[in-house]
Structure 1
Amino acid sequence: MNHVLRTLLTLLFATSALFFSGCATKRGEVALQVPTTKAEAVPSNGQQIYINSVVDRRMFEPKPTDPSTPSLDPSEAQSDTIKARAVGRKRNGYGMALGDILLNEDQNVNSVVKNALKEALTGKGYQVIENKDQITPQTYMADVKIVKFWSWMNMGFLALTISCEIETKVDLKKEVDAKTYNVHVKAADSFQTGMESNYLEVMQKALQQYIAEAKVEIK
C-alpha cells in the first residue's frame, strides 16, 4: 500500500511540475489559422451573401467561479480592443486564474469568426461578396452575434483538460425571407501542461468544428 501511495504521489508531483513549467503567468498571444477553399473547387448554388456585421456579445466577469466564463487578468490592460482579442485564461493546478491568452494584433474574435463563416458559406456554394456595391435585392444580408468564443482549463488528477467553445447567432435576411441559425461547437483534449500551444491546438480544432457545423446548419 505504501509503495502504491508513493508511486501515485510521485506521478502527481511529476504532473504538477510539468504543468507549472508549461504554464506562464503572463499574458500570451496565439495566431489562429482559418482555412480557405478555392472558389472553383465548390459548385455555385447561385446565391449571394454579404456579411453585414459581426458583433462580439461575450460577457466578461472580473472573478468568475466557472473558468468557461471570460475574464481578464486585473493587473493587465482591460480595453475594448484587448477584450476583442481575448480568447482564454490560463490557470494553475489549484484553479487560480493566471495570465490571459490573446489573439495576435492582426486578429480579433470578430475577424476570426467572419473568416470562418466565409469559409463555411463558400464551402456550401454561396458567393460571399465583399463590396456593398454588389448587393442586389436577391443578396442575403448576414448579421452575426458572437455569444461564446473562449478557451479554459480544468485540472484533473494526472492530466488537465483544455476546452474551447464557440457559439454564434447568424441572422440571414433577403427581402421577405428571414432565417436565424445558431452555430455552437465545443472541443476538448487532455494534456500534461497548460502551454499556449496546447490551447492553440484545441482552439484550432474548435474552429474546424465551427466551419463544419456552419456548413450543416446554414441552409
Structure 2
Amino acid sequence: MKKIALRSFITLVFATSALLFSGCAAKRGEVALQVPTATAETAPSNGQQIYINSVVDKRVFEVKPPEPNIPSLDPSEPQTDAIKARAVARKRNGYGMAMGDIVLNANQTVNSVIKESLKEAFKNKGYHVIENKEQITPQTYIADVNILKFWAWMNPGAFAIALSCEIETNIKMKKEGDPKTYNVSVKAADSYQMGTESNYIEIMQKALQKYIAEAQTEIK
C-alpha cells in the first residue's frame, strides 16, 4: 500500500510540474509582436530605392508533426487560412505534449510582421523604401518575399524548458539588369521556467531582432 501511495504521489508531483512548466497552456492564446527599430541615427542613403511587392506565407502545417518545430494547430480550435496566417507557436506541457496554440492578434499576420521587419532592415541598410507603386522607376528594386519558417516551440527539460524560434525567408530583388536572391535564416533560443505567453513573445522578439540584423548583413 505504501509503495502504491508513493507512486501515486510521484505521479501527482510530475503532473503538477508538467502543468506549471506548460503555463496552463491548454487554450489558444493571442499575442502582439513589436518590430524592433534602430535606436541609432538614420543610416546614410545608399542611393537605392526598393518596393516590397509581395510577402507570401509558404509555411506548411501538419496535423501531428514528429517534431515541435513544425507548425501545427490545436485540432479543437478553428483552423482557417486566416488563423494559419496569424499562427506563430504551439504550446506544450512539461512532457512535450502539444496543447493550445498561439496566434497573433487580429491586427497582425506573419506576413505583416515580416514585411515591417524587412522595411526596417532595408532602411538601416540605406535603402529608401517606397510604399506607392506609382513611385516605381526603372531603377527601383522590386522585392518578392517567401516566408519558409516563422515558428516558436518548447522543448521540456528536467529543471527548465527551452523556448526556440526560427525565421527563414527567401528574398528576390530585381531591377533592370540586376536580379538578386537572398536567403535569411535565424534561430533564437533560451531557457525559461515556464512556457507562458510572455516568454513566447520574448523569444520571438529576440528572433525578430536577429532576423533584421541578419537581413542587413546579407542584403547588398
**TM-score, normalization: structure 1?**
0.91
**Within-5 A mapping of 1:159-178:** 159-178=160-179
Alignment correspondent of 2:127? 126
Q: Is the 8 A contact 2:146 2:169 kept in 1?
A: yes
Residue 40 of structure 1 and its aligned partner are, at CA, apart by 6.9
Q: Distance in 2 between matches of 1:37 and 1:188?
A: 22
Runs of 4+ in 1 over 6 A off after TM superposition: none
**Within-5 A mapping of 1:47-58:** 47-58=48-59
Identify the match of residue 18 of structure 1 among 20, 39, 61. 20
Residue 39 of structure 1 and its aligned partner are, at CA, apart by 11
Q: Distance in 1 between matches of 2:97 and 2:21?
A: 13
Residue 213 (structure 2) pairs with residue 207 (structure 1):
no
Q: Distance in 2 between matches of 1:66 and 1:39?
A: 39
Alignment correspondent of 1:113? 114
One-letter code of the match for 1:19? F
**Within-5 A mapping of 1:77-92:** 77-92=78-93
Q: Distance in 2 between matches of 1:108 and 1:89?
A: 16
RMSD over aligned Cα, in angstroms? 1.7
Alignment correspondent of 1:3? none
**Within-5 A mapping of 1:178-197:** 178-197=179-198
Q: Structure 2, unaligned stretches of length 5 or more?
A: 1-9
Alignment correspondent of 1:101? 102
Q: Is the 8 A contact 1:23 1:193 kept in 2?
A: no
Q: Structure 1, unaligned stretches of length 5 or more?
A: 1-8
Q: Distance in 1 between matches of 2:115 and 2:38?
A: 15
Q: State the SS of the aligned residue for 2:85.
A: helix
One-letter code of the match for 1:64? P
Cα–Cα, structure 1 residues 124 and 165, in superposed 2: closer, same or farther, change >3 Å?
same
C-alpha deviations, 1:119-148, integer Å up to 9, x for none? 000001000000001000000000000000
Q: Distance in 2 between matches of 1:180 and 1:98?
A: 37
Q: Distance in 1 between matches of 2:203 and 2:38?
A: 22
One-letter code of the match for 2:202? E
Q: Distance in 1 between matches of 2:152 and 2:19?
A: 22
Residue 142 (structure 2) pairs with residue 141 (structure 1):
yes
Alignment correspondent of 1:41? 42
Residue 24 of structure 1 and its aligned partner are, at CA, apart by 2.1
Q: Distance in 2 between matches of 1:93 and 1:36?
A: 34
Q: State the SS of the aligned residue for 1:41.
A: coil
Q: Distance in 1 between matches of 2:177 and 2:29?
A: 46
Q: Is the 8 A contact 1:15 1:159 kept in 2?
A: no
Q: State the SS of the aligned residue for 1:66.
A: coil
Residue 18 of structure 1 and its aligned partner are, at CA, apart by 2.9
Alignment correspondent of 2:68? 67
Q: Would you say how many aligned residue pairs link Structure 1 and Structure 2?
A: 208
Q: Is the 8 A contact 2:154 2:161 kept in 1?
A: yes
Residue 176 of structure 1 and its aligned partner are, at CA, apart by 1.5
Q: Is the 8 A contact 1:88 1:100 kept in 2?
A: yes
Q: Distance in 2 between matches of 1:52 and 1:17?
A: 44
C-alpha deviations, 1:146-170, integer Å up to 9, x for none? 0000000000111110000000000
Residue 27 of structure 1 and its aligned partner are, at CA, apart by 0.1
**TM-score, normalization: structure 2?**
0.90
Q: Distance in 1 between matches of 2:51 and 2:40?
A: 16
